């Protein structure tokens, strides 16, 4: 996604695929976009087939969509 994309842009685009619970764009300490972010949907089942592997464009820039993976308890001693 382009550096000018906002959380509102992501929300507006991806809300057509299902109910959204959170949108975050990752930013540098100076506030500049790192050109990636996360969109959390209420239901995984509603969005998986419609999003992954399809072409998406926001503000004229192509957006690659991947399903997030849950990381384990890194750094904890057992």
What pLDDT is stored for residue 76 in this prediction?
54
Domain 7-63 is found in CATH 3.40.50.2000:
no
Q: Where are the domains of the chain?
A: 7-63
3-state secondary structure the chain: CCCCCCHHHHHHHHHHHCCEEEEEEEECCCCCEEEEEEEEECCHHHHHHHHCCCCEEECCEEECCCCCCCCCCCCCCC
Segments in the chain below pLDDT 50: 78
**pTM of the predicted protein model:** 0.78
What pLDDT is stored for residue 17 in this prediction?
87
What pLDDT is stored for residue 48 in this prediction?
67
What would the pLDDT profile of 26-45 be if each residue is shown by its tens digit?
Answer: 999 999 999 999 999 888 76
């Amino acid at each position: 996604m382009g550096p000018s994309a906002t959380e509102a842009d992501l929300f507006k685009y991806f809300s057509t695929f299902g109910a959204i619970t959170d949108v975050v764009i990752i930013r540098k300490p100076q506030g500049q976009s790192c050109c990636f972010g996360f969109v959390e949907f209420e239901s995984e089942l509603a969005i998986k087939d419609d999003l992954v592997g399809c072409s998406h464009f926001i503000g004229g820039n192509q957006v690659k969509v991947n399903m997030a993976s849950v990381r384990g308890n890194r750094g904890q001693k057992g």
